[in-house]
Amino acid sequence: MSQGYCEKKSEGETCNEAENMEHLKRSSRGIVLDTIRKTERVARIDIANETGMSAATVTGISAELLSQGLIEEVAPDASPSDSRRGRPRVGLKIRGEAHLVAGVKIADRSAVVALLDFEGKLVGEFSLPLPHLKMSAQECAGFIRELMEAAMATNGRHLSDLSGIGLGMAGVIDAPRGFVHWSPSLTTRNVPLRQLLADTFAAAGPCPPIFLDNDVNLVALAEQWFGLGRNVSDFIVVTIENGVGMGIVINDNIYRGTRGCGAEFGHTKVQLDGALCRCGQRGCLEAYVADYALLREANISGEAFQDPNAEKQVQELFYKAKAGDVTARTIFQRAGKMFALGLANIVNIFDPKLIILSGERMQFDYLYAGEVIENMKNSVVQIDVSPPEVRIHKWGDLMWAKGAAVFAMEGVTERALRELSKNAR
């Protein structure tokens, strides 16, 4: 039983047909814009062919998008392949200067900022250490304002140049409400962080819209825009760092669950009454594969580390395992088995096309080696069709920040289209 195609309104409200038609036209504008974005440089006629819209509709919509400065014309490509097909055609592309957006990733010890133009090109970056590993909500908001002011100044810009700021952090976050149920970076629960940030920025001048989400959802977005998830409608991103995260893309959209706390892969249980997790429960996948879990085991076996930094210690442990140290190997081996089990559960439930193991620590390939993937494949329901492909994608905090910027870009684009739609009425 499908729903009406008018936008969802609060109960009791209905929307009229004119609004429905305008909604469809807005979708058409969005489809044209997406097509241009995906193709990078495309002639109007090819947009028509690609989308099934008439040439006239595409021309009309292009004119609107051009007049708003969201796209621009580019000189005909005089390459032989074009000229062979007749007169070279004027191309359309996204106009990079149309909007500037920022993405912020709050990592364990630092925050990283990426600045993207409307084409998605990286035009600036910046980072600062966190004042504390855990911040009060107020301190966090103040820090992000300072961070952004410094990031803009360093890149010769001002806050007022920004059309939107995307913010990704670990934790359970209700993205539509901009609400943090819980985050390891904050000292308190239930923080209406988006509102708090808006208030904090407003004190310094006009505040660009702020978009807030769980950081792994934003990695999934980055994969969709720039990475291995391009043109894949259904895929899953798993990250292992200090914790274990997951982003789910179904039908080209991030799946967030009804309370905004789906995709908590790290807290799926792999052992009844198992190892204690940071969350206070037992047997969570994270309690077997996250940094602290590996170090807990290393401590028990009396491992002595050179470096006081946990991340470095895990690295040391990893090199020991690689060099043949039996205890270190045992530690990584169990982690690998549990990780394979958790992954298999995801495949058995979602049956995705692709799984992307993503993040900075992918150099610890002991955990993600062929053996683990093989284990996973042996633990999924066996049918005579290949199990989903697993691909490994190493990248650093900057890519998380780029994902946050993309989230802001989507919000900014949606607003721009709504604006166009309002003017058209």
The residues in 308-347 that bind its own copies, with binding defined as CB under 8 A, are 337-338, 341, 344-346
CA 2 to centroid of chain Cα atoms: 29
Binders of its own copies among 159-178, rule CB under 8 A? 172
269 vs 391 by CB, closer to its own copies = 269
**SS3 of 49, please?**
helix
Please give the Cα distance from 111 to 151 (Å, whole number). 11
What whole-number distance in Å separates Cα of residue 34 and Cα of residue 94?
A: 9
C-alpha closest to that of 183 among 172, 198, 195: 172
225 closest CA partner among 116, 123, 148, 127: 116
Whether the Cβ atoms of residue 179 and residue 166 lie closer than 8 Å to each other: no
CA gap 146, 153 in Å, rounded: 11
Taking the C-alpha atoms of residue 30 and residue 252, their distance in angstroms, rounded to an integer, is: 14
d(C-alpha 180, C-alpha 174), whole Å: 6
* Shortest CB 101 distance to its own copies, Å: 16
Q: Which of 10, 79, 81, 258 binds its own copies (CB under 8 A)?
A: 258
By CB under 8 A, tell whether 259 contacts its own copies. yes
Q: How far is the CB of 194 from its own copies (least distance, A)?
A: 17
Q: Scan residues 208-237 and list those touching its own copies (CB under 8 A).
A: 224-225, 233-234
Residue choice 37, 95, 99, 402 for contact with its own copies (CB under 8 A)? 37
Q: How far is the CB of 193 from its own copies (least distance, A)?
A: 14
Three-class secondary structure assignment of 395-420: CCHHHHHHHHHHHHHHHHHHHHHHHH
Residues 275-314 that bind its own copies (CB under 8 A): 279-281, 283
**Residue number, 130 or 338, with CB nearest to its own copies:** 338
Q: Binding pattern to its own copies, positions 41-80, x when CB under 8 A?
A: --------xxxxxx--x-----------------------
| Nearest residue to 133 (alpha-carbon basis) of 170, 103, 168, 167 | 170
Asked whether 228 and 391 are in contact (CB, 8 A), the reply is yes
- Per-residue contact flags (x/-) with its own copies for residues 368 to 397, judged by CB under 8 A: ----------xxxxxxxx--x---------
Size of the site for its own copies (CB under 8 A): 82
For 99, half-sphere exposure in the C-beta direction (CA atoms, 13 angstrom radius) is 25
By three-state DSSP, how is residue 181 classified?
A: strand
Q: Which member of 41, 121, 132, 189 binds its own copies (CB under 8 A)?
A: 189
Residue 267 beta carbon to its own copies: minimum distance, rounded to whole angstroms: 5
Shortest Å, Cβ 74 to its own copies: 21
Please work out, in degrees rounded to the nearest 5, the angle formed at the alpha carbon of residue 322 by the alpha carbons of 318 and 327. 70
CB of 242 to its own copies, least distance (A): 16
**Closer residue to its own copies, CB minimum distance, 127 or 345:** 345
Nearer to its own copies, 10 or 258 (CB): 258
Q: Show the binding pattern over residues 127-166: x = contacts its own copies (CB under 8 A), - = does not.
A: ----------------------------------------
Applying CB under 8 A, the span of 76-84, 206-214, 349-357, 395-403 interacting with its own copies comes to 349-357
Q: Could you say which DSSP state residue 122 is in?
A: E
Instruction: Select from 32-40, 73-81, 105-113, 416-424 the region that touches its own copies (CB under 8 A).
Output: 32-40
Shortest approach of its own copies to residue 264 CB, angstroms? 4
Q: Which stretch binds its own copies (CB under 8 A): 90-98, 159-167, 265-273, 366-374?
A: 265-273
What value, to the nearest 5°, has the Cα angle with vertex 215 and ends 360 and 234?
A: 90
User: What does the alpha-carbon distance between residue 387 and residue 354 come to, in Å, rounded to a whole number?
Assistant: 9
